A = this chain, B = another copy of it.
Amino acid sequence: MDGPVTLINVFTVAPENQQRLIDLLTEITERSVRHAPGFLSARLHRSLDGTKVTMVAEWRSRADYEAMRADPTPRPYLERALAIAKFEPGMYEVAETFAPPGAAAGSERPHVPR
């Protein structure tokens, strides 16, 4: 598997800890994760019901992501996050991409039925 991978990591949290978890994950990503080789982009999402925080991150390859996870630097932050949240990780490849009908050029590659 040499292509790009997308990590979709869902954290479940008590609503009173949602902002603290966002702050922790922002700090870990800003200081450490985004500097790792092969990091392409990430978005951190706040659920409207207060009970989830989900990070969607794109990496150049699975090997790049695994090298970052082997680095001890982010671990103390992750441990603080896991003290207040349940973590459900997922490693994916993109299967399909969809756009509205007549979407302007500049959107991502259109869906092509296979």
Contacts and interface: CB of A to CB of B under 8 A. Distances in A.
Interface residues of A, number: 47
Contact of A99 (B22, B34, B90): B34
A98 B41 contact: yes
Nearest to A39: B100
Nearest to A35: B101
A contact patch SS: strand
A40 to B, nearest CB: 7
Contacts of A45: 6, 8, 90, 92-95
Contact of A48 (B26, B42, B91, B103): B91
A98 B8 contact: no
Nearest to A51: B90
A111 B79 CA distance: 23
B41 A107 contact: yes
A92 B52 CA distance: 9
Given A47-B90, A101-B35, A107-B41, A22 B96 contact: yes
Given A1-B48, A5-B48, A48-B62, A10 B98 contact: no
